Amino acid sequence: MGTIVTLDIYTADGGATQEIMRGLGAAQAILQRADAVFSTWNQDSPVSRMRRGEISSAQAPAEVAEVFQRCEAAREASAGWFDPWAMPGGFDPTGYVKGWAAQLCLGALRVPGVRGAIVNAAGDIASFGELAPGTPFRIGIADPFARTQLAAVVWLTGAIATSGSYERGPHLIDPHSRQAAARAASASVTGPDLGLADALATALAVAGEQGLALVEPLDGYEALVIGHNRQRRWTRNFPFAPSGDPAVGPAEND
């Protein structure tokens, strides 16, 4: 996947039991397996070989079929604004699989003694539990125009993914034109599953504010879009934390 993943674990007594260490080992194995199968940076990975036509999807590992199905669901939910089959060079699930792998990794950390955990895959985050009893996690969203500052702070009760071109340059592809395009400076999506949140954030960064209407009806998912004009729009229940009070109302109120 060509990125760094960090794990934060919060225990009741601050200690690390054998069960917790086994969970960490399992989480590491999940990430390594996902990288080995899906990395487009690794020319020998099954996905890279599929992209070159050396093997078919039926000859790929079983995980590929699962990701295919989930990418199809994400493509439908995003009205085609997320489409791994429309990427240069062939099928590229990068916009989904990083979040998918991090979510699987999080599941391995649900062991006795852990009251909360965060899996941070290059800024896309899956979590469960809380920082302390009665204290949920809070996550900052970087300001795409001043990356050392925060555009918003959110209550994190599941997953959050953010997409944009402000760090890597014009790398997002509009599946409809198959050209690099980003109609938003930044797009963030919260929800119960990081794989889908990751795909939707990619879709919204490409589609811009119009994509909010696609997220609004999805159960448990909310979104924030920051335009190139610095204007912010969001779905009705986006989980702003108090210090992240918005300056502009939700898109549907305008």
Handedness of CA 71, 72, 76, 77 (dihedral sign): negative
Report yes or no: 108 and 5 within 8 Å, Cβ to Cβ: no
3-class SS at 156?
Answer: strand
**Judging by DSSP bridges, how do beta strands 159-163 and 146-156 pair with one another?**
unpaired
* Residue 32: C-alpha distances to residues 27, 35, 36, 175, 188 (Å): 9, 5, 6, 29, 26
Instruction: Write down the domain spans for the chain.
Output: 5-253
Give 206-224 pLDDT, tens digit per residue: 999 999 999 999 999 999 9
Give 21-56 pLDDT, tens digit per residue: 999 999 999 999 999 999 999 999 999 999 999 999
| Tokens matching residue 127 | 């979590």
The whole-angstrom separation of Cα 247 and Cα 232 is 8
pLDDT value of residue 12: 80
| Tokens matching residue 20 | 């917790």
Report yes or no: 138 and 52 within 8 Å, Cβ to Cβ: no
pLDDT value of residue 243: 62
The whole-angstrom separation of Cα 97 and Cα 55 is 19
The whole-angstrom separation of Cα 239 and Cα 155 is 6
pLDDT value of residue 38: 96
Query: pLDDT under 50 in the chain at which residues?
Result: 244-254
The whole-angstrom separation of Cα 198 and Cα 27 is 19
Q: What's the pTM value of the predicted model, to 2 decimals?
A: 0.92
pLDDT value of residue 250: 44
| Nearest C-alpha neighbor of 223 from the set 242, 240, 206 | 240
The whole-angstrom separation of Cα 230 and Cα 246 is 12
As a CATH number, domain 5-253 is 3.10.520.10
